[in-house]
Structure 1
Amino acid sequence: MGGMRVAVIGLGSMGLGAALSLLREGIDVRGCDLSDAQRNRFASENGQVFDNPAAAAEGAEAVLLMVVNAAQTEDALFGAGGIAKAMAPGGVIISSATMAPDDARALAAKAEGQGLLYLDAPVSGGSVKALAGEITVMASGSQEAFAAADPVLSAIAAKVYRLGDEAGLGSAYKIINQLLAGIHIAAACEAMTLASKLGLNLETVHEVITASAGNSWMFANRVPHILAGDYTPHSATDIWVKDLGILSTIAGKEKFPLPLTSAAQQMFLATSAAGMGRDDDASVARLIARITGVKLPGTEED
């Protein structure tokens, strides 16, 4: 496995963890990110870093793309990034950005037209699981793409779901996950600020709810950020502005109403507009607290 060359494009909260997980397996990893800080973090762990995607992907047998959306994925692969031309012939593209299924299918067709394999492989789990090599991958693509990507997936994931042999299916599953996750974060923030307004002990609220039917994975995961008053971005507010926006576009084409998703998107959008777009997504609670005059731990200065 150590002889495999892999480029990781995008060293954000998930990409950095994935790159470090690959490095631990002895894989030849080349990381690329526009951010000096993220490149430096990877370099500090003895990772090879590049500020140019094509340079990182030169001769790579696999490229793991952990960028923001379909447009960035396409530009990195076939536009200014030049990844597709730099990769080893027959290499596999592992595309992990959240995007509409139609976009995934179009990118796969273009990649396959240039003699490359393409795995539609969105991910979930957050930065902590990424650092541990334990993310969930929702993947679809050809058997050849799965086989080529297997060493990478084995290093970065605890669960890999094989959801079909066509690109687009993985992205469709991820969109359903994002619908629920976004609503659950917004709901958790709304619940905790109301609890504060009612004078409840927030630590006790967290304890009681996580042992009760009202719990969700996001409540259990994000409420500790609120309790600590720590909004370091494990997952940024603007991610949800983007992802729930993608959902809204898809649903609009299908003439499918998404009232709860739309409400959650507006909460994230308002939080971003208030200057917290790059802070942790639990910052929705800070926005609600500002509007209602509620005090939350560590946010008195807000």
Structure 2
Amino acid sequence: MIAFLGMGLLGSNFVRALINKGNSVQVWNRTTSKATALEAYGAKAFADVTAAVKGASRVHITLKDDHTVDEVLAAAAPGLQPGAVIIDHTTTSADGAVQRTKDWKARGFTYLHAPVFMGPQNALESTGYMLVSGDQEVIATYTPVLAEMTGQVINFGDTAGKAAGMKLIGNSFLVSLTAGLADTLSLAKALNIPISDVTGLFGEWNPGNGLAARIKRMASGSYDSPSWELNMARKDTQLFIDAAAKADVPLAILPAIAKEMDQWIAKGHGQDDWTVIGKNSI
């Protein structure tokens, strides 16, 4: 028997996929109607979280944050059967994941943090990426069942909380990328260039292909053989800002990047490779 707590878009589709694979799943959600909606697919819904976990050898969680996870697990604890494993897919802090691993082990339970890079459709189709780290015996035991839920399980070694950290790193990139794309589309609007043309450009020229090389360049600590001088990158950044200002189109992050560039130029790095602005991150 499997229990699943948290019937948001991700959790509900995880449940549907598990049922499609022949599993019996007990579900709970703070808004009970979201749990009972899964009964149409064969789940057994509970209004009480303690009852929802009774008899379950595995308890999966997809909740909001550290506080919610701790609160829900505290409420569920009286119903947990001895030896139950708690598998938490919530995006949380690394410290929170470490503390929960320690605390639940002391109480006689296994807690495994397994955050994901998956959308709702991935959860339904069992595709995407699931991240784990910590006790390698535990991970070896549960990787087969986790692999059935996702396309790939990535093991980051025996450091508890590292999977949580890697999830945050990945999400920070997605947030930064989306904010950057928002400014890119704002610039296109200012220049009266259709989004379809922007899509076409990136379809032909995919800057994402250079991501690994860019990280390697930034991590090298060597910026004195530039492929794009910081002075020139700053000049172009001002062209972006001026074009947007002329069209009265707001920009979210490019002005902040310009300010950072100015600080590095003032330190004497204008002729270095523009990736020097990430030097303090290394």
SS state of the match for residue 180, structure 2?
helix
Structure 2 partner of 1:60: 56
The residue type equivalent to 2:65 in the other structure is: N
The residue type equivalent to 1:65 in the other structure is: I
Structure 2 partner of 1:20: 16
Structure 2 partner of 1:157: 150
Structure 2 partner of 1:190: 183
SS state of the match for residue 156, structure 1?
coil
Give the number of equivalent residue pairs: 213
Point out the structure with max Rg over C-alpha. 2
Contact 1:32 1:51 in 2 (8 A): yes
2: distance between equivalents of 1:135 and 1:124? 6
How far off is 1:129 after superposition?
1.0
1: distance between equivalents of 2:24 and 2:66? 26
Contact 1:67 1:73 in 2 (8 A): yes
Contact 1:92 1:148 in 2 (8 A): no
Q: Deviations over 1:108-140 (max 9, x none)?
A: 111101111111211112112111111311101
2: distance between equivalents of 1:90 and 1:208? 54
In the superposition, the TM-score normalised over structure 2's length comes to: 0.69
Structure 1 partner of 2:217: none
Q: Deviations over 1:58-106 (max 9, x none)?
A: 121111111011111111112xx22x33222111111121222111111
2: distance between equivalents of 1:75 and 1:204? 48
1: distance between equivalents of 2:6 and 2:20? 18
RMSD (Å) for aligned C-alpha atoms: 2.3
Matches of residues 60-99 of structure 1 in structure 2 within 5 Å?
A: 60-78=56-74, 81-82=75-76, 84-99=77-92
1: distance between equivalents of 2:21 and 2:50? 23
SS state of the match for residue 164, structure 1?
coil
Contact 1:9 1:65 in 2 (8 A): yes
Matches of residues 102-251 of structure 1 in structure 2 within 5 Å?
A: 102-215=95-208
1: distance between equivalents of 2:48 and 2:41? 19
| Contiguous gaps of at least 5 residues in structure 1 | 217-290, 295-302
Task: Establish whether residue 46 from structure 1 lines up as the match of residue 42 from structure 2.
Answer: yes
Change (3 A) 1:211 1:16: farther
SS state of the match for residue 90, structure 2?
coil
SS state of the match for residue 67, structure 1?
coil
How far off is 1:196 after superposition?
2.6
Structure 1 partner of 2:274: none
Contact 1:6 1:27 in 2 (8 A): yes
In the superposition, the TM-score normalised over structure 1's length comes to: 0.65
| Contiguous gaps of at least 5 residues in structure 2 | 210-247, 252-282
SS state of the match for residue 137, structure 1?
strand
SS state of the match for residue 188, structure 1?
helix
Contact 1:104 1:167 in 2 (8 A): yes
Bigger mean CA deviation after superposition, 191-200 or 94-103: 191-200
How far off is 1:141 after superposition?
2.8
